[in-house]
Structure formats: C-alpha cells, structure tokens
Amino acid sequence: MTLEQAGDDLSVLDLNGWFATNGRDFLWRRTRDPWAILVSEVMLQQTQVGRVAERWPVFLDRFPNPRQCAAAAPGAVIELWSGMGYNRRALNLHRAAMKITGDHGGVVPSSLDELLGLPGVGPYTARAVLVFAFEQPAAVVDTNVGRILARVAGHRLDRKEVQALADRALGDHDPWTWNQALLDIGATLCRSKTTQCASCPLSSYCDWFAQENTPPDPAHASAAVSRPQSTFEGSDRQGRGRLVDALRQREVPADDAAEVMGWADDPHRVKRVLEGLLTDGLVVRDGDRLSLPE
C-alpha cells in the first residue's frame, strides 16, 4: 500500500470511541501543564511506564516549574532521578530548565523549533509536548507508532516516510486523542512480538493483517522502531550507574571508583568510563574526590 493510500485510509478512522473505552489512564494525561508534560516525556524515553508513574509526581513536587529546577544544583536533579536509569536525561532536563528560564522567561516554548532547541529534546518529545500540552495539530512517532504505521502500510518505512504517514493520517482529528490512541494501540494490541489484531480498530486498514501477518514483519528495521537493547549486566551502563548511585549518597575517592563500578581488575575500562562521565557532566572531580555536580 502506498503512503498516500495508508494515510488517507487512517485519516477517515475515528478512534475517539475506542480511546474512551480502552485508553490508559495516567496522571500526566490529566494535565496540560507544559513543564509537567515535558518531564513525563523525558522520563518515558527509556523507562517503563510503571516506574515513571511512581517518580513523576515526586519529581514535580520538588521541581514544579522550570525556574525551580534551573535554580537547583544539577546534582540535586540527578539525585532525584534515582531508580530511573540513563542519568544523562536528568542532566539534560536540568539544562533544558535553565534554557527555558534564561531564554523563554521560565515558560516552556510552544513552537517545534524552539522545543527542538532544548537539550535532550528530539523530534518525538518536541511533538509530544506540542500535542499533549498545547493540543497543537502534530503527529508523534515513537517506537509503538512506527511499528503500527509500517504494518498498516505493509512495508518498511524510513524516518521521513513514517513521519509523513503519521502527519497524513492525523488529518483533522483531535490531535490529543488521536495520538494517545495510537500510542495505546501500539502498547497493548499491536505489540512487537504479539498482536491482538481481532481487537484492533486499525485491522481493517492494515495491509499486513490483510496478508495474514505473513513474515517478514514490515516493522522490522523500519525507522522509529526500537532495536533490542544490549545486555545491561556487565555493560558500561551498569558501571556508570553504580558510580552515580554511590555518589547520590556520598563523595567517592577516585581510587575507589574501580571497586564501586565493579571492575577492580580492569583499570583501563574504569578510566575510559569515568572520563565519559566527567565529559558528560554527570560526575565532577576535585583532586582525588568524585562527586555529583553542584
């Protein structure tokens, strides 16, 4: 099916009824506060929904707006990020808060270009804030939506094609509901390894379903569709996380970094990973002491 055909088919589909009955209820779906939405989207980038549901209100209680986040030490934001993983996101969120405060008067911007200018904000997050905070007509494409659209079209899509199809499918729909519905369909019905096509409101428009889900899955290797992550156990990410977790509690002597990271017998790896943390700004060194940034 061509992108034009797929987009035109989906543009006439009404998902309001499906979402009213089947849509998931999250706290961040009950607000239109742009800062709260930005925080939720940054958290959701690489963390399971259940964990975000726990940490999101805690974070906003401490940093309810960009000004208060910007006024805090970056280390304080990293400390509050405990348990979320990918600590660089916390640092980027702090940097975004500083830019919002310094360049936008403390108000989260409402244009795509300005949102893309914030640290850590990519095409998906920028469009998500436009839609879910400002209810502007934009189509968001994450891994779930990318998978759906490739299957509807019946072939692999590159990044430009998947965004073009999403834009065309949005049409004149209410952007908030339409995008939330697609995200939920991808998360609950049109999953990576299992599908519930009989319950999916898109099945009548899906080229892959019409082909009886015959392999290969067109979502495989399509743009925006996530690849399996590398094993965490024994990875650099694990060592980085161990050191940052320790620094949330106390300063760490530089000579103890190898033991804290779990690589006492691999000094070259410790040196390389520590240099990366220092370059990223997640860790600072003062003489022989390591700490979170102040």
Q: Domain 3-12+139-210, what fold?
A: Endonuclease Iii, domain 2 (1.10.1670)
Name, in order, each residue with C-beta under 8 angstroms of 181's C-beta and a sequence gap of 6 or more. Answer: 15, 16, 18, 19, 23
Q: Which CATH number fits domain 33-132: 1.10.20.10, 3.90.870.30, 1.10.340.30, 3.60.10.10?
A: 1.10.340.30
Structure-token pair, residue 292: 């979170």
Report how far residue 149's alpha carbon sits from residue 156's, in angstroms, rounded to the nearest whole number: 9
pLDDT by residue for the chain (294 residues), tens only, comes to: 888 999 988 998 999 999 999 999 999 999 999 999 999 999 999 899 999 999 999 999 999 999 999 999 999 999 999 989 899 999 999 999 999 999 999 999 999 999 999 999 999 999 999 999 999 999 999 999 999 999 999 999 999 999 999 999 999 999 999 999 999 999 999 999 999 999 999 999 999 999 999 999 999 988 767 555 567 777 898 999 999 999 999 999 999 999 999 999 999 999 999 999 999 999 999 999 999 999
pLDDT for res 82: 92
pLDDT for res 152: 96
Are 285 and 254 contacting, i.e. CB atoms less than 8 angstroms apart? yes
Are 157 and 222 contacting, i.e. CB atoms less than 8 angstroms apart? yes
pLDDT for res 241: 94
- What does the chain come to in residues? 294
pLDDT for res 166: 96
- Known catalytic residues are 41
Structure-token pair, residue 261: 């990271």
pLDDT for res 232: 75
Helix (H, G, I), strand (E, B) or coil at 152: helix
pLDDT for res 226: 53
- The residue assigned the tokens 């209680």 is 61
